[in-house]
Structure 1
């Protein structure tokens, strides 16, 4: 498969597709630091502003992890008409000029509900009006061998193929048993209405806070000594949490810039799964489905083939890949720093004052961490 990547970021989609046997022909990325990573890691032309890209080469696959800035819950929520998320129209312009066999789009699940799901309606209407088949599915990166909980919507479209044979061919179902873990992830920036708790995984890595400040999550390592029990992953650990090799973004940029690149990336193993489906589409699984009427709330998975829209009952766990290492081991191998005194103190104050459920030993370790950090 020959591919073109639009809004490529640091190349998560493209790297995953290459691991499935694809070759990359062209990359497009506007942000300078991310474009520098692409030039270092891929031996292809990297162009900048998609609005200035006149055409793309004829290829099998065009990918577009278009900006989530206007669609994310932590973004501006302007919707598909926002100045950044609305740039998906530029991708459509290029696709219409030189149609590939497959199109792959990726974005946040909030696009299914924000403003009544206007973003998804706009996207699928664009494809249907031009005779394309489409299917989308919400999946979670933690089920692809990563120690990060990251829910994303993946949409595959084609004029000639059945995209259900890419996205709906695997179904592991949600796990029925709950296991204990040696480490738990949480958002230290929260604590009033939620903590983003993750059993053996971190919560979703973010490109940055509403103030544009990188805010990697924290991890509680059960039983660790004071000063090591409450930590923030290093950016190298963050790269591994997304499926890149450690050091993928290490080209001299500050850690805050690197965290933004990593937080905005597509998880590599998820893209590899997509790539294998594109290379060898199979029959969809036998799952419950029903007609999807226009105006109904967008479900977690749906399709339209030959103009027939259907809602599919599928989980966010197509695969049941086990991570090769625990979250605690990942931090040991790739680095973590103690959460700062002020960050820990602020989070603990908010958590204790809230009505949120929490483990007593977690609060004990937070207080021990505060005492330790106060003494160093």
Structure 2
């Protein structure tokens, strides 16, 4: 007599500071199910309800008593106090200090794995104070941990976006998830940018930073130095200067086009840019989830104890802290030129926006590719004609 075959239990994710679901969507693509998503922003909540209909959506993390039974706890905790473009308050700021809520909930959680994400600047801000806060929190609760700086551009999207990813577990070796893969390095961030390339840059800056990126855009952000969420600009080799559409920006984060469209039902269209800038690149989280399903041995024989500064990658087993020499590219995927990636025509940048960038650039001391500022000036003049 044949017996019924029992289907394997779907692995469960609980998401804190879920935003628009970048971490959780990547895990869903790897076979996980989101049980609970905690997000305080009502516009983001609206998107989560539309895209994760089976998940419980809750608000303030401070009022959350438990995340329930889950295999993985994800937390892309607020970065505003840690970002290089923010107020740089640090980990003690009102928003980024919410990482402590993650550790509070972990005290009663049986999650096998923990995945935490935040901005690159936390490695350096206030001497790495935020890194110490996160790592001390894990070790206080008895977790082994590993972290790695990862560039989204390694995953085939033309966005130069570096983020720090932590993986921690009480029972497993996080190195076998986060550090065992190593991709081939590509010279996509080189200094040899020329006006024959597509050049991504922050048109809202110019004096102290510009985010110049060859054949890619710099990181999508939730805000800017002029106080509004806005996409980076792209200089095209034919002299045109414009910004990607929101649909292409969503694709640059690994979402399907119009993933955030439902936000316009409850908020301003500009909210889509803010939420997208705060999100996690989906192919990175999908890779992470895949490694949780299939860990690989990690060779630590060349690793040395961490020095006075936080390296780009490190780990700790049983309280011993070591730095790793892995790169920011755990996979080798073909780099895509932003000009070939876009599916929609870029929106031409206004004369006012270009002239504002040029004023700031001419006052500062940043170096730009030969002919770049002149090409922007010419495009501005063409707009006026």
Fold shared, TM-score > 0.5 on shorter chain:
yes
1:208 aligns with 2:219: no
Which one of the candidate residues 29, 35, 39 is aligned to 2:45? 35
* CA distance 1:273–1:36, change in 2 (3 Å): same
Which one of the candidate residues 265, 290, 294 is aligned to 2:279? 265
Secondary structure at the aligned position of 2:235 is classed as strand
Q: How does 1:287-302 map to 2 (within 5 A)?
A: 288-292=302-306, 296-302=308-314
Q: How many residues align?
A: 367
- Residues 311 and 323 in structure 2, CA contact (< 8 A), matched pair in contact too: yes
Which one of the candidate residues 14, 17, 21 is aligned to 1:4? 14
Which one of the candidate residues 105, 108, 113 is aligned to 1:102? 113
Which residue does the alignment assign to 1:113? 124
Which residue does the alignment assign to 1:284? 298
Which residue does the alignment assign to 2:381? 371
* CA distance 1:354–1:131, change in 2 (3 Å): closer
**Worse overlay, 118-127 or 156-165:** 118-127
1:174-200, Cα deviation, whole Å (9 max, x unpaired)? 325869875210111222233211111
Q: How does 1:188-203 map to 2 (within 5 A)?
A: 188-203=203-218
- Residues 207 and 259 in structure 1, CA contact (< 8 A), matched pair in contact too: yes
Which residue does the alignment assign to 1:55? 66
1:285 deviates by 4.6
1:160 aligns with 2:171: yes
- State how far apart, in whole Å, the 2-side matches of 1:330 and 1:77 are: 33
Unpaired segments ≥5 residues, structure 1: none
Which residue does the alignment assign to 1:184? 199
1:129 deviates by 1.9
- Residues 17 and 40 in structure 2, CA contact (< 8 A), matched pair in contact too: yes
- State how far apart, in whole Å, the 2-side matches of 1:211 and 1:196 are: 15
- State how far apart, in whole Å, the 2-side matches of 1:176 and 1:203 are: 15
1:130-155, Cα deviation, whole Å (9 max, x unpaired)? 22100000011111111101110000
- State how far apart, in whole Å, the 2-side matches of 1:61 and 1:356 are: 43
1:275 aligns with 2:296: no
1:352 deviates by 4.1
1:249 aligns with 2:260: yes
Secondary structure at the aligned position of 1:237 is classed as helix
Unpaired segments ≥5 residues, structure 2: 1-10
1:355 deviates by 4.0
Secondary structure at the aligned position of 1:36 is classed as helix
- State how far apart, in whole Å, the 1-side matches of 2:155 and 2:52 are: 24
- State how far apart, in whole Å, the 2-side matches of 1:287 and 1:264 are: 36
* CA distance 1:184–1:98, change in 2 (3 Å): same
TM-score, normalization by structure 2: 0.90
- State how far apart, in whole Å, the 2-side matches of 1:343 and 1:361 are: 19
- Residues 170 and 285 in structure 1, CA contact (< 8 A), matched pair in contact too: no
- Residues 246 and 334 in structure 1, CA contact (< 8 A), matched pair in contact too: no
- State how far apart, in whole Å, the 1-side matches of 2:242 and 2:209 are: 19
1:256 deviates by 1.6
- Residues 136 and 303 in structure 1, CA contact (< 8 A), matched pair in contact too: yes
- State how far apart, in whole Å, the 2-side matches of 1:329 and 1:365 are: 21
Which residue does the alignment assign to 1:350? 360
1:315 aligns with 2:339: no
- State how far apart, in whole Å, the 2-side matches of 1:89 and 1:191 are: 36
- Residues 149 and 202 in structure 1, CA contact (< 8 A), matched pair in contact too: yes
Which residue does the alignment assign to 2:83? 72
- Residues 118 and 165 in structure 2, CA contact (< 8 A), matched pair in contact too: yes
